[in-house]
Amino acid sequence: MSDTTVKLSDAAIRRRMLAEFWFYFSQNRGAVAGLVVFALLVVVAIFAPLLAPHGAATQYRDALLLPPVWQEGGNSRFLLGTDAVGRDMLSRLIYGAQYSLFIGIVVVSIALVGGIIIGLVAGFFRGWVDAIIMRVMDLILAFPSLLLALVLVAVLGPGLTNAMIAIAIVYQPHFARLTRAAVMGEMEREYVTAARVAGAGNMRLMFKTILPNCLAPLIVQATLSFSSAVLDSAALGFLGMGAQPPTPEWGTMLAEAREFILRAWWVVTFPGLAILTSVLAINLMGDGLRDALDPKLKRS
Partner 1 sequence: MVRFILSKLLFLIPTFLGITIIAFGFVRILPGDPVLLMAGERGVTPERHAELSAQLGFDRPLVMQYLEFLNRLFHGDLGNSLVTKKPVLTEFLALFPATVELALFAIIIATVIGVPVGVLAAIKRGSWFDQVSMTAALVGFSMPIFWWGLLLIIFFSGILGWTPVSGRIDLLYYFPDATGFMLIDSLMSGQEGAFTSAVSHLILPSVVLATIPLAVIARQTRSAMLEVMGEDYVRTARAKGMPQRRVIGVHALRNAMIPVVTTIGLQIGVLMAGAILTETIFSWPGIGKWMIDSISRRDYPVVQSGLLLIAGMVMVVNLLVDLTYGLINPRIRAS
**Residue closer to partner 1, measured from CB, 119 or 251:** 251
136, 187, 205, 293: which one binds partner 1 (CB under 8 A): 136
**Residue closer to partner 1, measured from CB, 175 or 270:** 270
Q: Which of residues 266-295 bind partner 1 (CB under 8 A)?
A: 268-269, 271-272, 275-276, 279-280, 283-284, 287
DSSP for 236-297? HHHTTSSSPTTS--HHHHHHHHGGGTTT-HHHHHHHHHHHHHHHHHHHHHHHHHHHHH-TTS
Residue 264 CA to residue 248 CA, distance in Å, equals: 18
**Residue closer to partner 1, measured from CB, 60 or 260:** 260
Residue 140's alpha-carbon distances to 109, 132, 137, 153, 260, in angstroms, are: 19, 13, 5, 15, 37
* By CB under 8 A, residue 251 contacts partner 1: yes
Asked if 250 and 232 count as a contact pair (C-beta separation under 8 A), the reply is no
Residue 146 CA to residue 148 CA, distance in Å, equals: 6
Residue 277 CA to residue 292 CA, distance in Å, equals: 23
* By CB under 8 A, residue 169 contacts partner 1: no
36, 57, 105, 154: which one binds partner 1 (CB under 8 A): 154
**Residue closer to partner 1, measured from CB, 20 or 138:** 138
Binding positions for partner 1, rule: CB under 8 A = 30, 135-136, 138-139, 142-148, 150-151, 154-155, 157, 227, 231, 234-235, 238-241, 251, 254, 258, 261-262, 265, 268-269, 271-272, 275-276, 279-280, 283-284, 287, 298, 300
